[in-house]
Amino acid sequence: MSSMLERPALKWIPLTLVMGVTLAGCAREGFYDDRNLDYTDVRPAPPLVLPESRNTQRYNDAMPVPQAALQGSRVDGAADVAPPPSLSMGSGLQPEFVERRQVGSDVWLVVAADTGAVWPQLEAFAQSRGLGIQRSDANQGVIETNQATLSLQSALRAGSSEVRCEQGGRSVANCLDALEEYLGARSATASASSWNAQRLSNARTVEIRQQNGAWEVAIPQTAERVWAELDHYLTLDFTVENRRELLEKSPENYSFLVNYMTASEESRNPIEVVFSRDVRRMTQNIRLVLEPQGNQSVLRAINESDRELSADDQRELLERVSGYLR
């Protein structure tokens, strides 16, 4: 009588058992080690310490991040990260990588990248032009040269930076021209860094609130910087006849006069139009006023027409305009 191991269906059982035991041992310590549990008991390793005998001139930060890059307080816990909002409530405006801002004789550049990405470019610019760097301080975002001082700080829009080139407190036109060309040529390499930086929360930038029945926007920036930003985008966006137009602007009073059709007026259906006093949709003059409050400013919308400006209309306009600052 033949043994059971000689049967084709059963002779592989011992080999299968051996392989099963072998692979079970590999599941934890061999080729198929499951390390999911290893991370529950992980402990931080001590920091790397370089020897005191090293040549300190050979060791520098590869990518220094200026302290000016910090926007708001430090986040201690997890935060919800959202994509950057579209500019100006869907107006279709997209900022250029390098743009100019001006208030009187004060001129500066706004770069669509965070300060950590722009700082190495400023150093490279100063070195390539042979400006003679006397002092370079990444923490303060300042590069002092023989010809001018380059300064860097966060801009109003999250993920953007402001770059100035001044001498004796006055803007240097030739330096700004060269900087604009130099940074503009490097827009592609900085786009990824800019996208990541723009994912920061906007809650710390602007706050729309209601005071005594009227809406206003609280902005934690000086009125001069805010006015320059609003001037740039209102000039680009308020150009649609019988819809939204920029009529006047006053840098001395930090104000703008616009002719605007509110969303409620534009959305009136034909029946509402026929049975109302006004048989056609109409715009109205509204003055946007910035009130300086030290290092902060408050934006308000003041009605200067005979037509009523409801609280909802007021908020709708302020939300659209404050979208330029996000």
Give residue-wise pLDDT tens across range 86-138.
454 445 567 788 999 988 889 999 998 888 889 998 988 888 888 888 998 88
Taking CA atoms, 183 is separated from 6, 176, 179, 306, in Å, by 80, 10, 6, 48
Give strand ranges (E) for 118-234.
133-137, 142-145, 149-154, 161-167, 170-171, 207-211, 214-219
pLDDT of residue 74: 44
pTM equals: 0.56
Confidence at residue 157, expressed as pLDDT on a 0 to 100 scale? 80
Given the candidates 3.40.50, 3.90.640, 2.40.30, 3.30.310, the CATH classification of the domain at 90-197 is 3.30.310
Per-residue pLDDT of 62-73, as tens digits, reads 666 565 544 444
Fold match flag (90-197 vs 207-325): yes
Positive/negative CA dihedral, 29, 35, 40, 45: positive
Counting Cα atoms < 13 Å in the Cβ hemisphere of 49 gives 5
pLDDT digits (tens, 9 = 90+) for 201-248: 333 568 888 888 889 999 998 999 999 999 999 999 999 998 999 999
Every domain of the chain and the residues it spans: 1-41, 90-197, 207-325
> Per-residue pLDDT averaged across 162-177, rounded?
91
Q: Does domain 207-325 have CATH number 3.30.310.170?
A: yes
- In single-letter form, the type of residue at position 268 comes to R
CA distance 175 to 149: 10
C-beta atoms surrounding 65 within 10 Å: 17
The pLDDT tens digits of the residues spanning 309-319 come to 899 999 999 99
Q: What is the mean pLDDT of the chain?
A: 76
